[in-house]
Structure 1
Amino acid sequence: MARTRGECPRRVRFWRWRRNPLRRRSDVIEAWLLLTTLVLGIVLGGFGALAAAGAVDDSLAERRASSREVRAVLTEDAARALPAPAPESGDTRVWTKVRWTAPDGTGRTGRARADADAEAGSAVTVWTDREGRLVSEPPGGAEARFQTLMAGATVAATAGGMALLAAWVLRTRLLRRRAAEWETEWRLVEPAWRKRMTG
């Protein structure tokens, strides 16, 4: 079937894998490089994502296991505490002095967040480690899942990006080598070609 004017030639897919007179050794190497990059990107990204997500999940589970909720009592009015955060943060609580009892029965003091209108003697919930020191509340539920997913996605993207970067470097070297081969072959063909065109 004749091609009409303006029609684009049909693109031949997977031409590097098929035998044809225009295929060079560098074309075959490039095809294998692209396939290897795809497989490595998927495998490394998948395993890396699973490993990172598992490590973060284990770390968060350990934090939850090693911390506990404790009832603490304000030792001062929250209004006399440190200045409240900027309203844009959405958190109206302030850092105020609190007292709680450690697992060994000793009294401890420190600073924790409380509502800005809380008075001395009011109860607040704080989180402590096994020794009774104040710690931040361990993430749980949706926040823990988000952190786990973000760790997995970050490692997957990094592993895939490294595979792509390595492939890009190797492909650039292949393209330079191919250009040098063409230059060498053109030097051999060009005199005969010029003679035919001018003769």
Structure 2
Amino acid sequence: MILVLCVLLIGSVPISYGVASSSFANDQVVDAHLGARYQVTAKAFPGPPALTPRGADRSPVMRRVRGSWTAPNGAPRSGDLMVELSPGGPDAVKIWVDRDGVRQPAPRSLADLLFVAILNGIALELGFVVAALLVYVAARFVLDRGRDRDWEHDWRRLAGVGTEA
């Protein structure tokens, strides 16, 4: 039983690797599909003066302001921007847009893609380990019950209890 479980767990490693590789490749395809993204500089319009330059943990506090930018196709665009809350405020913010200048999320970094792929592989491997442990515990439980029943039957037979029938 232990040997079978070990073989199953060892065999699950290539499967987990395959899932991680597939996840990585799929994420790259999704990013490539969304790929026509361009980084442009948007001019932030001045807002009201900032009251607090930093959060309690000294991290920058962000606020929404209006801004304008030029799309890669040359069309002027405007919209809301998230900028750091500071007395002067930034004049320019880097944003990601598509060919028509519509805001898009920034592309994921290679580190982000690898992190997700590795987590998928680890999660699958943990699933195999948990499943193998559950099978092992269930098999031990069933076998121990049968062994205890046989043991009890043999003791009764030796003691002469229940053998008169």
Instruction: Flag whether TM exceeds 0.5 (same fold).
Output: yes
Task: Count the aligned residue pairs.
Answer: 157
**Structure-2 separation of matches of 1:176 and 1:54:** 43
Aligned to 1:174: 143
Deviation at 1:71, TM superposition (A): 1.0
Q: Is the 8 A contact 1:84 1:94 kept in 2?
A: no
How has the CA–CA distance of structure 1 residues 36 and 86 changed in structure 2, closer, same or farther, with 3 Å as cutoff?
farther
Q: Does 1:111 align with 2:80?
A: yes
Identity %: 23
Q: In the alignment, what sits opposite 2:159?
A: 190
1:71, 1:123 within 8 Å by CA — same for their partners in 2?
Answer: no
Alignment of 1:7-156 (within 5 A): 33-44=1-12, 46-65=13-32, 66-67=34-35, 68-77=37-46, 86-88=55-57, 90-102=59-71, 106-117=75-86, 119=89, 122-129=91-98, 132-156=101-125
Q: Once the two structures are superposed, what CA deviation does each residue of 1:144-168 show, in whole Å capped at 9, x if it has no partner?
A: 3323222211221112211211221
Alpha-carbon separation, structure 1, partners of 2:6 and 2:19: 21
Whichever residue aligns with residue 52 of structure 1, its letter is V
What SS does structure 2 have at the residue aligned with 1:135? coil
Max Rg structure: 1
Contact 2:44 2:81 in 1 (8 A): no
Letter in 1 for 2:2: L
Shift of 1:88: 3.0
Given that 2:68 and 2:79 are in contact with CA atoms closer than 8 Å, whether structure 1 keeps it comes out as: yes
Long gaps (5+) in structure 1: 1-32, 193-199
Distance in 1 between residues matched to 2:18 and 2:100, nearest whole Å: 31
Are 2:43 and 2:69, in contact at CA under 8 Å, matched by a contact in 1?
no
Structure 1 ranges of 4+ moved more than 6 A: none
Aligned-residue offset at 1:132: 4.8
**Structure 2 residue aligned with 1:164:** 133
Structure having the higher helix fraction is: 1
Contact 1:60 1:138 in 2 (8 A): no
**Following the alignment from structure 2 to structure 1, what is the Cα–Cα distance between the partners of residues 123 and 54?**
31
